[in-house]
Structure 1
Amino acid sequence: MGEWEAGLDDEEAGAVMRTVTRQLKLWREAAGLTQAEFGAAIKYGEELVSSVERGRRIPRPEYLDAADEVLGAGGKISAMKKDVAEIRYPKMVRDLKNLEEEAVELCAYNTSVIHGLLQTEDYARAVFNAHRPALTEDEVEQQVTARLARQEILDLMTGRRVFSFVQCESTLRRPMGGRMVMRQQIERLLEVAQLRNVDLQVLPLDREVNSGTGGSFRLLKLKRGTTVAFSESPLSSRVTADPKETTVLDIRYGALRAQALSPQDSLPLIEKALGETRT
């Protein structure tokens, strides 16, 4: 099941799981099937069926589809797939994803790696594989899946959302995952930079002033007029809507945009970095 293990300390996920597992058990018992018989019918082991019904494993979409067909639920079980899929991500990732979806403007400065919304799958995997202490393979895949799911908001069809990214030049020079992975990542940056609702700027390493030496952060300006700041540190990430703090970061971001190359002037530097991955 991998990334579909249930987080027992996540109240929101727990509430969804209790509803889903209760329905699965009721439908199975109404059909007169034991866990072993039901598992054989949907081609899953009895132990897995038991883990799902006890709320210890999150059922995958194919599990729910098979259960719906075998139990004759007429789509009622399959309809739970969307809610179930969402809770496989850590709560902080879900909360951040919800904030990003509500935002009308997203501003982000990154000093060590390419911003998560801009990362390719292989680049994201390299980032998480670099964590120390090391993450397990399942934890890496969980984080990569969650990160890629957040990138849906970059689609122009999602609305009039505006994105502004300032990347330190060092993020273009650090070959995360190797030369081929980095080449594909920089190609992705050039693609995203063409979107009408995206401004992508690079802060060159030769600038004498860099207002972002304190680390990476992002600002989310929500529809209701609130600004939420998300800052990162080696051991934790922090979300705040305190105007005293968000105002400081808003001023800092304005300074970073002024210090960086314009979106148009940033493209040649990104293209130069791409060329260097081919030599």
Structure 2
Amino acid sequence: MQTTPDPRMLRIQLGIELRRLREEADRSTFEAADVLGCKQPKMSKVEGGSQGIKPEEVARLLDFYGASAKQRRYLTEVAEQAVKRNRPKKYHRDAVPDWFQRFLALESAATEIRLYEVETVTGLLQTEDYARSTIQAWEPAADPRLVEQQVRTRMQRQAVLGGKSRLRSLDVVVSEAALRRVQGSGEIMRAQLTRLIELSERPDIAIRVLPFSAPNRITVLSSFTLLHLGAQRLSSVYLEDVLGATYLWEAEEYTRYSMTLDRLQAASLPAEESRELIAKVRAEHT
């Protein structure tokens, strides 16, 4: 599937990636500005996604930060796409494989994440064995090395739950179906459900279960994620399917999904009752 990524999304991703590489290289925005021969405010705007940057400038920064060859190829391509004068769109459609790398950048910079999961535990809350089982189920013929690489990536994503992360709150509504659908084995499920209980006790993580018994609940057939990036002043809806991903950022669309999640939360069990239900399902995997 051929797509034309939205320049705004590309600028935001590029800024996030450049900031991460600069911080990993232990360089300041003043030093980066010197490399480009510009003032420090420009670097802040570039990293915030509000100002564009030329591909040749990106290449100089990547040299300065000591980026790997793989990072150079990918981010140079992103920079080249970002400067193209594409017609503005109300949504951004990504094709595989770029959609996931772009999502990783946005997720890592998010200050607030709210999401609804239908059939599986969300990747941010998965145990390593649960993650490996889901990946192997989706790609049973995949090279084991590729599977392990994907598992490592999924575990690395969970760094956003750490103390140094920009993420301030994670709000999850998970269908009871995700708790009861056995992934891997009873042992894997027991460990996964234990992790959910433990994480639900953190003040910055809310996990609510939408039970089968909820009366007159609305029907939402697919999962979705709401991402808010404070520094970039971006609020986006992220939708994923087998062919790629879609980002929605029109105010009306974001509001509609936010209101839908509010209704799902209202039909869900409170935090303590959700933990009790998770523990009840866990007890079935002895």
TM-score range, shorter chain: 0.5 to 0.7
Cα 1:103/1:82, change in 2 over 3 Å: farther
SS at match of 1:130: helix
CA distance in 2, matches of 1:148, 1:106: 17
Cα 1:117/1:140, change in 2 over 3 Å: same
Whose radius of gyration is greater, 1 or 2?
1
Cα 1:82/1:277, change in 2 over 3 Å: farther
SS at match of 2:114: strand
CA distance in 1, matches of 2:198, 2:137: 26
Cα 1:82/1:246, change in 2 over 3 Å: farther
2:254 matches 1:251: no
2:170 matches 1:163: yes
Equivalent in the alignment of 1:131: 138
CA distance in 1, matches of 2:102, 2:262: 26
**Map 1:62-141 → 2, pairs under 5 A:** 80=67, 91-131=98-138, 134-141=141-148
Equivalent in the alignment of 2:274: 266
CA contact (8 A) 2:235 2:249 kept: yes
CA contact (8 A) 2:110 2:167 kept: no
CA contact (8 A) 2:227 2:236 kept: yes
SS at match of 2:138: coil
Q: What is the CA distance between 1:91 and its match in structure 2?
A: 3.7
- Select 1:173's aligned residue among 180, 189, 208: 180
2:155 matches 1:148: yes
Q: What is the CA distance between 1:208 and its match in structure 2?
A: 3.0
2:190 matches 1:183: yes
TM-score, with structure 2 as normaliser: 0.63
Select the structure with the greater relative contact order (CA < 8 A; seq sep ≥ 6): 2
2:237 matches 1:229: yes
TM-score, with structure 1 as normaliser: 0.65
Q: What is the CA distance between 1:205 and its match in structure 2?
A: 1.0
Amino acid at match of 1:178: S
2:235 matches 1:240: no
Amino acid at match of 1:237: A
RMSD, aligned α-carbons: 3.0
CA distance in 1, matches of 2:169, 2:177: 25
CA-to-aligned-CA distance 1:2-26 (integer Å, 9 cap, x gap): xxxxxxxxxx9xxx9xxxxxxxxxx
**Map 1:207-226 → 2, pairs under 5 A:** 207-223=214-230, 224-226=232-234
Cα 1:150/1:271, change in 2 over 3 Å: same
SS at match of 1:176: coil
CA distance in 2, matches of 1:251, 1:82: 43
Q: What is the CA distance between 1:160 and its match in structure 2?
A: 5.7
Equivalent in the alignment of 1:65: none
Q: What is the CA distance between 1:213 and its match in structure 2?
A: 2.4
CA distance in 2, matches of 1:222, 1:175: 34
Cα 1:233/1:212, change in 2 over 3 Å: farther
SS at match of 1:140: helix
CA-to-aligned-CA distance 1:186-216 (integer Å, 9 cap, x gap): 1111111111100110000112334352210
Query: Please, which runs of 5 or more residues in structure 1 have no aligned partner?
Result: 1-11, 17-75
CA contact (8 A) 1:156 1:197 kept: no
CA-to-aligned-CA distance 1:94-137 (integer Å, 9 cap, x gap): 32122122222100100010001000111011111111675443
CA contact (8 A) 1:212 1:252 kept: no
Q: What is the CA distance between 1:245 and its match in structure 2?
A: 2.2
Identical columns (%): 31
CA distance in 2, matches of 1:158, 1:277: 34
CA contact (8 A) 2:109 2:167 kept: no
Cα 1:212/1:123, change in 2 over 3 Å: farther
Aligned residues: 204
Query: Please, which runs of 5 or more residues in structure 2 have no aligned partner?
Result: 1-13, 19-62, 75-96
SS at match of 1:232: strand
